Amino acid sequence: MTGTSGLEMESMELERYTEKAYLDYSMYVINDRALPHLADGLKPVQRRIVYAMGELGLNNQAKFTKSARTVGEVIGKFHPHGDAACYEAMVLMAQDFSFRYPLVDGQGNWGAPDDPKSFAAQRYTESRLSKYAELLLAESKQGTVDFVPNFDGAYQEPCLLPAQVPFVLLNGGTGIAVGMATDLLPHNMIEVLEACIYLLDKPKATVSDLMKIVKGPDFPSEAQIVTPFSEIEQIYLEGRGSIKSRAVYAMENGDIVISGLPHQSSPVKILEQIAQQMSDKKLPMLVDLRDESDYDNPVRLVLVPRSNRVDVNRLMSHLFATTDLERSHRVNMNMIGLDGRPATKNIREILVEWLKYREQTVKRRLNFRLEKIIDRLHILQGLMIAYLSIDEVIQIIREEEDPKSELMARFELSEIQANAILDLRLRQLAKLEEFKIRGEIQELEVEQKEINKILGSRARLKTLLKNEFKEISRDFGDSRRSELVSVEEAMAFSEEDFITNDPITVVLSEKGWVRVAKGHDLNARDLNYRSGDAYSQAVKGKTNESLVFLDSGGKTYNAAPHSLPSARGQGEPLTGRFKIAENSRFVGMVIGNEATEVLFCSDAGFGFRGRLGDTITKARSGKSCLSVREGVSALPPCIVPSSEKTVYLAAVTNQGRLLVFDVNELPELARGKGNKIINIPKASFSSGEEKLILVEVFAEDDILVVGAGQRHLKLKHSDIVHYLGERGRRGKKLPRGFQRVDTLMKEAD
């Protein structure tokens, strides 16, 4: 369109414009900022830093130079962005706790594992390239890579660096692009180069084959990798997943000494996490912790157990689960491939593609060298002609106005050869120089022949690559730091693990209010109860046992004794904890372990023996246990004691009938109605005339106490014989005055 100014303007739909702008920005972030390249394992800013330092001559043998000088060189020539971001990228490459094989050798404060960003300003630190950077730059001047103009066209910079090892695996890296991210873990150089050699010998090798050599990542820290090998193999096959690493610890004089932490874990943060748990009284088995790290021991955290009876392995399992002593490292092998496109690759695809790049690089290096040899031989051949005809050459130089043209015409020389002859110094005309030239020609011809053999044979090229890998592995490789171990999964302490086995008494009121008191000496009947409420039941047990309540509808409910309110108050209603049916009420409770045998029965005269473990539930609505029909109510449960002698069940009706029989006559069930305990005529029960009101389970040597108001009848075994009968019988009447029974209990003889 044409505007009022007369200038031509391009018109574009807003949708197309925004789409193009977004895609352009996305590709810029992906290719030029966030993702490393498979070839050299570097992001653009990292590549430019390494190259600029190489151009400044800051190799591993050079003097340290102010980092500000390097940063200025980088942003001034190659990377026109902020100096802070550039310096931070440089710092990362210098931190031996961030990079497995650091590319920058720093002097000064370059941060610490506690706070990687606590490094000093660039004007205070000094730097140079590390020895590992040699593996990136050594071949950069040998025609191995393409150069492109920098941002303003004033300088040339390499598109990629001729990496001699796959740094994309060795150092790994992280990055967040637009719509994608990368998380590459570091690996051991020796293992990776061995895998490359294996792949050259066996191109059809699978991921499983390569995993026999590269067993997993190798972090800069000495943490243990605890992810099962089968899972690691699957991650390396898919290129995605998560790998766990765990701190290394040992016992020294009764103390727990942590000497290695997971990658990127902060010792200070870990101590804070442990200290917080100690403050919250979640680690009563620890009494002290110290940080004894120093120059000789970069990581040395000391945990002091309360006594030598502390289960150290269980304690550390808890700390692994609740602190940064164990960390998960995300894996996403996303990178820019040789085709210039981002993609997630498995370990085999990475190595195959990198070996392709390395072969191309070596071929370019050999061809470059071959061209240099040919050029040098050309010059040397011209010099030999000059030496063989030295007198004539001297005469031409002295007498001819244009000696170069005359030399070219007389001896059929090229311009390059003629210039080389003319540039000769007088001392180079000695006889010894002739022998040197002949020797150099022979050496170059031998080298030329060897290079041509390599370029003409894939097998020879593979041999060259393997020999180079072996040499690099010998000169630069080191042993694995992160050991792969098989361990149990970390597990945090549960609330129950901190519960002691102190004696307690749980008190239940008639209205369903509950509370707990320490010890077994409590007289529950003397406690203060709410208006209109009264004592119902008290049970004795321990804080680490299971407490089960039973409602009139036959449902059980579970509560932890330590979670109940103190008996100093009036307690709390169970209806606040549990969802009970509208017409139901709580009738009783029992406490014990899961194997504890319990008697469940109803006022209709039916019941069974069950295990406490079968009644435990986390549901607020309870768990069906005793089946009762309409008009029938469950009675308070009671524990069946274990005894070498006969254990009896005593059942009393409201008519004063007592029946005693061996409790084993009742079946053991998980749930149900049970069997008949005492015979109550249906008509009598339906009319409300007779029902079962009390039961008690006691051993043969116990005394059964029958209470009727203020009167008590104590029945020894000799007295109980009179009331013994088969299960399901009517029982016998108690003596006059004791037929209105209101309590039934046992006491030791």
Q: Are strands 546-551 and 535-542 parallel, antiparallel or unpaired?
A: unpaired
* Span 583-596, pLDDT tens digits: 899 999 999 999 99
Residues 401-423, mean pLDDT to the nearest whole number: 88
Q: What is the mean pLDDT of residues 77-81?
A: 90
Give the least confident one: 278-292, 354-368, 497-511, 622-636.
497-511
Give strand pairing partners of 288. Answer: 304
User: What pLDDT was estimated at residue 35?
Assistant: 87
> What is the per-residue pLDDT for 1?
42
pLDDT of residue 189: 97
pLDDT band at residue 96 under the 50/70/90 scheme: very high
CA distance 713 to 650: 14
Q: How high is the pLDDT of residue 27?
A: 58
Q: What was the pLDDT predicted at 14?
A: 72
Residue pair 741/713 in contact by the 8 Å Cβ criterion: no
Residue 20 has pLDDT above 70, yes or no: no
- Candidate list 87, 124, 236, 249, residue with the active-site label: 124
Contact 590, 612 (CB under 8 A): yes
pLDDT of residue 678: 95
- What integer pLDDT is reported at residue 63 of this predicted model? 95
- Write the pLDDT tens digit of every residue in 686-698: 999 999 999 999 9
Per-residue pLDDT for 284 more than 90?
no
CA distances to 78, 274, 283, 622 from 319, in Å: 47, 8, 10, 34
pLDDT at 340: 87
In this prediction, residues 102-129 reach a mean pLDDT of 94
pLDDT digits (tens, 9 = 90+) for 665-686: 999 999 999 999 999 999 999 9
Task: Check pLDDT > 80 for residue 740.
Answer: yes
| CA end-to-end distance (rounded Å), the chain | 114
pLDDT over 70 (residue 522): yes
Q: Distance between CA atoms of 86 and 84, rounded to whole angstroms?
A: 5
Residue type, 470: K
Spatial contact of 578 and 645, defined as CB atoms under 8 Å apart: no
277 burial type by CB count under 10 A (0-12 exposed, 13-18 middle, 19+ buried): middle
b/e 136-169 (16+ beta carbons within 10 angstroms → b): bbbbbebbbbeeeebeeeeeebbebbbbbbbbbb
Give residue 281's pLDDT: 83
Q: Is a pLDDT exceeding 60 seen at residue 6?
A: no
pLDDT bracket for residue 423 (50, 70, 90): confident
| DSSP letters for 333-389 | -EEE-TTS-EEE--HHHHHHHHHHHHHHHHHHHHHHHHHHHHHHHHHHHHHHHHHHT
CA-based R_g, the chain, Å = 44
pLDDT at 49 over 90: yes
> Across residues 636-648, what is the average pLDDT?
92
| pLDDT tens readout for residues 230-270 | 999 999 999 999 999 999 999 999 999 999 999 989 999 99
Query: Higher pLDDT residue, 27 or 66?
Result: 66
User: Does residue 250 contact residue 224 with C-beta atoms inside 8 Å?
Assistant: no
- Is residue 295 annotated as part of the catalytic site, yes or no? no
Whole-number pLDDT of residue 612: 95
Q: Please count the other Cβ atoms lying within 10 Å of the Cβ belonging to residue 704.
A: 22
- Mean of pLDDT values over 608-629: 94
Q: pLDDT tens across 376-390, in order?
A: 999 999 888 888 888
Residue 410: burial class (beta carbons within 10 Å; 0-12, 13-18, 19+): middle
Q: Are residues 119 and 91 in contact, defined by beta-carbon separation less than 8 angstroms?
A: yes
DSSP labels, 76-114: HHT--S-HHHHHHHHHHHH-TTT-SS-SEEEES---BTT
**Across 65-87, average pLDDT:** 93
Compute how many other C-beta atoms are within 10 angstroms of the C-beta atom of residue 665: 13
DSSP secondary structure string for all residues of 533-591: --EEEEEEEETTSEEEEEETTSEEEEE-GGGSPBTTS--EEGGGTS---TT--EEEEEE
When pLDDT is averaged across residues 584-613 and rounded to a whole number, the result is 95
Asked whether the predicted pLDDT for residue 144 surpasses 90, the reply is yes
Q: What is the DSSP letter of 165?
A: S
Residue 73, pLDDT score: 94
Tell me what the pLDDT averaged over the chain comes to: 91
Mean pLDDT of the region 539-543: 92
Q: Is the pLDDT reported for residue 2 higher than 60?
A: no
The answer to whether 646 and 696 are in contact (CB under 8 A) is no
29 pLDDT above the threshold of 70? no
pLDDT at position 356:
97
* pLDDT of 429 over the 80 cut: no
Q: What is the pTM of this model?
A: 0.73
Backbone phi, psi, residue 382, to 5°:
-65, -40
Q: What percent of the chain has pLDDT over 90?
A: 74
Residue range 205-233: mean pLDDT, rounded? 94
Residue 38 has pLDDT above 50, yes or no: yes
Q: Is the pLDDT of residue 372 over 60?
A: yes
Q: State yes or no: pLDDT of 7 exceeds 60.
A: no
Per-residue burial over 459-473, b if 16 or more Cβ lie within 10 Å, else e, is: eebbebbbeebeebb
